[in-house]
Structure 1
Amino acid sequence: MDGFGSDFSAGGSGGKMDTGTIMEQVKVQIAVANAQELLQRMTDKCFKKCIGKPGSTLDNSEQVGTG
């Protein structure tokens, strides 16, 4: 048991990363997640606006030049 505890504490203190580097990585991940969410919302809204009832034919409201 003592050997496991020593390995665990040594691994925890020896692997320090620069806080600035971690913050930059988190900012990049957040930016990517925000971009993906925006793209998904835009796709959903456009699809719902253009295609109200998916099917094999276009509804009158889905056709160009009407409305």
Structure 2
Amino acid sequence: MSSIFGGSTSTSSETASSKDLNARKEAVMTSVRNELALANAQELINKTNDKCYAKCVTKPSTSLSSSEETCLSRCFDRYMEAFNIVSRTYTARLAKERLDGQL
């Protein structure tokens, strides 16, 4: 097909270029999602450590007592369990909403 400037336009090269652009866009989006997931995980661990430390270590010293270690372990386990429950529920809800939107 000729353009008004005398050259020819190639639909197949435009399609390939568009596919390449979409692939790069998807790669960037995946990278951003991964970075956000990592940042969220780091924030969860930091908050959990701060809250559990404040709750379990009442008299800071050079080492933890066995009761402090047990408390920290249980506290962290509870936070992770709660996080996993919320994450699974949220993921299931998003999946359901996507399916409902497709119908």
Fold shared by both chains (TM-score > 0.5): yes
Q: Where in structure 1 are there 5+ consecutive unaligned residues?
A: 1-10
**Alignment correspondent of 2:28:** 36
Sequence identity (%) = 16
TM-score normalised per structure 2: 0.39
Q: Does residue 21 of the first structure (1) align with residue 13 of the second (2)?
A: yes
Q: Where in structure 2 are there 5+ consecutive unaligned residues?
A: 51-72, 78-103
Deviation at 1:12, TM superposition (A): 4.0
CA RMSD of aligned residues (A): 2.7
**Which protein is richer in helix relative to its size?**
2
State the 4+ residue runs in structure 1 displaced beyond 2 angstroms.
Answer: 11-16
Q: Which has the higher contact order (CA 8 A, sep 6+)?
A: 2
